[in-house]
Chain A
Amino acid sequence: MDKTFDWFAARGVTLARTGSDREYAGAVSGIDGVELVLLSAGEIPRELDAGRIHLGVTGSDLVREKLPNWDDAVTELEPMGFGHADLILAVPRCWVDVDTVSDLDAAAAGFRAEHGFRLRIATKYHRLIREYLKREGVADYQLVDSQGATEGTVKNLTAEAIADITSTGETLRANHLKILSDGVVHRSQATLFKSRRAPWSDGERATLAALTARLERQAG
């Protein structure tokens, strides 16, 4: 949130919290007709899709994961240059025979034949990973849901591979995992999105034009 506030401040729009620092309320100055709503990053895609908010700042990964046909629901106005994280596929480092998604596919075939069930990939990014593996033509896998501590699932024998967000790779290394060399599924960053589903009155359009002019002036 602080980085979002800084990003807008650098463009002459001041966002601030009001009330106590535990209260989710905010105020906007420097531009008229904009109201600030503080929401969890994970809920912003849904709110944009429902058209209950006109603009939203959240991770590009969350929008792609939570919204089917996300580009029908929202447009990306500005990548904001922070909150960088990659959604990656990782396997145990001891799999010295596996370096690419193609190797993972071959390992999955062998694994299923040996163990009688599909190779398990732990993740909370079901849509992004499923679409990626479909595009890549990977077979004989299944996704198992993991909402946290995903890097531990391989050692705990609840998955054979993982797909998760990483920024430095530190946690992966500590858990004896390695990223597939072509296993970057999405490079995510904080992004300003515009809802295509929200009703846009003339006044709201004018406000958006004023805001985007401000953002572009800075970019130029």
Chain B
Amino acid sequence: MSQSDLLAEAGAARALLAHFTARGASAVEPGILMPADTLIDLYGEDLRARAYTCADSLRDAQMLRPDFTVGVAQAHIASGAESGRYAYAGPVFRQQDADPGRPSEYQQAGLEIFGGADPHLAEAEVFAAMVEITSPLGLRAVFGDIGLLTAAIDGLSTSAPRKAALLRHIWRPRRFRALLDRFAGRKTPPAARARLLENLENGADVFASAGPQIGLRSRAEISARIDRLQADAAEPPISERDVVLLEQLLALRDTAPAAAEQLRDIAVDLPAIAPAVARFTARLDALAQHGIDLASLEFEASYGRTTLEYYDGFVFGLTVPGRPDLPAVVTGGRYDALTRVLGGGAPCPAVGAAIRVQVGRDLAAERGVQWP
């Protein structure tokens, strides 16, 4: 990309920042270098394939920031403020192994809201701000709600460890599917598991031929998992009816008002999701208050399950219609779990969204409109 293109992209990002600060957000500028350990611990090993890791001869390895969210959240938590509304703009860095055509240094601009009395109003505010600023681009809005999925899993009549295993893998649909099939008795446990349980049943010493105890994972931890496996084997399968309801929920795709209608129907059979459905409806009301046309808003229950692990509630994207090859111009959502980890366990409601500036600019050029 030429020097003037980079300048124009950065200029557009600054203009977006100015737009958000003019509407009451404080500008923040987190550093570009971030400790790699912190990010890997939060996001997982996959991040290493996407982010640039740099050696540092004095400190542990650093990463070029892959996004602003962690830096902004850390700055907010360090400030000790109860609530805050921040905007930012600047370059982020991603390796593009899977998509060599995409730039690996590009501008993001975004908005993050922490705290606040009403979580739905904060969500609606971020969403509406993003819809407003991108309105010349003709984007398609789609949203999901991880909170509905967690409520549905919590409501299954099965053991706590099984629920925990399913909750943990909401963001890894393949493993989720495999677990659900096993817990529902659709698949038999692997042969080695059956053998282990049989040996335990017969009172055999399962450690007899297992060699010496080595490594950090202790005998007590291994024994504790064996106890869990035995308890799990005695657990009745999740009922076919519950599995079908869960699958119905996961497959739900419709406009927001129609989805709300269907969710209320599912809640009749799966009462555990009723509070989450009430929150869903309250959020729609908040969105309507912010002038969002609900009829053109698409809900996909599984949206955000594959790529956006740290979003754990409301999650949304503003995408380019008919162009699945392009990344979403805007992605955002709620990430309370992430701020809880960063804050050492203290809850800190957080919702935000980021704009891929250049994708928006290219689109504006294509459509012959002025943006931002």
- On whether the beta carbons of A157 and B40 are closer than 8 Å, the reply is no
Stretch at the interface among B7-15, B41-49, B75-83, B139-147: B41-49
From known contacts A134-B46, A142-B40, A160-B217, infer whether A96 and B226 are also in contact, taking CB-CB under 8 Å: yes
Does B215 interact with chain A (Cβ within 8 Å)? yes
Stretch at the interface among A13-21, A114-122, A195-203: A114-122
Shortest distance from the beta carbon of B358 to any chain A beta carbon, whole Å: 22
Q: In the docked arrangement, what's the CA distance between A143 and B46, Å? A: 10
- On whether the beta carbons of A94 and B178 are closer than 8 Å, the reply is no
- On whether the beta carbons of A95 and B193 are closer than 8 Å, the reply is no
From known contacts A94-B207, A137-B172, infer whether A100 and B215 are also in contact, taking CB-CB under 8 Å: no
Determine the main DSSP class of B at the interface with A. Answer: helix
A residues near B31, Cβ cutoff 8 Å? none
For residues 97 through 112 of chain A, which have their beta carbon under 8 Å from a beta carbon of chain B? 97, 99-100, 102-103, 105-107, 109-111
Does B224 interact with chain A (Cβ within 8 Å)? yes
Shortest distance from the beta carbon of B153 to any chain A beta carbon, whole Å: 15
Q: In the docked arrangement, what's the CA distance between A105 and B164, Å? A: 13
For residues 73 through 129 of chain A, which have their beta carbon under 8 Å from a beta carbon of chain B? 92-97, 99-100, 102-103, 105-107, 109-111, 114-115, 117-119, 126-127
- On whether the beta carbons of B169 and A137 are closer than 8 Å, the reply is yes
Contact for B222 among A68, A94, A127, A157, CB less than 8 A: A94
B residues near A181, Cβ cutoff 8 Å? 190, 192
A residues near B217, Cβ cutoff 8 Å? 92, 95, 107, 111, 119, 160
A residues near B174, Cβ cutoff 8 Å? 135-137
Interface residues on A, range: 35 or more
Q: In the docked arrangement, what's the CA distance between A92 and B226, Å? A: 16
Does B102 interact with chain A (Cβ within 8 Å)? no
A residues near B100, Cβ cutoff 8 Å? 69
Interface residues of B (CB under 8 A from A): 40-41, 44-46, 48-49, 97-98, 100, 165, 168-169, 172-176, 178, 190, 192-193, 196, 206-207, 210-217, 219, 221-222, 224-226, 229
Interface residues of A (CB under 8 A from B): 68-69, 92-97, 99-100, 102-103, 105-107, 109-111, 114-115, 117-119, 126-127, 130-131, 133-143, 154-155, 157, 160, 176, 181
26 residue pairs of the A-B complex, CB under 8 angstroms, read A69-B100, A92-B217, A93-B210, A94-B210, A94-B215, A94-B219, A97-B225, A97-B226, A99-B190, A100-B190, A102-B178, A103-B193, A106-B165, A109-B165, A110-B221, A111-B216, A117-B41, A118-B40, A127-B49, A130-B46, A137-B173, A137-B175, A142-B45, A155-B214, A160-B215, A176-B211
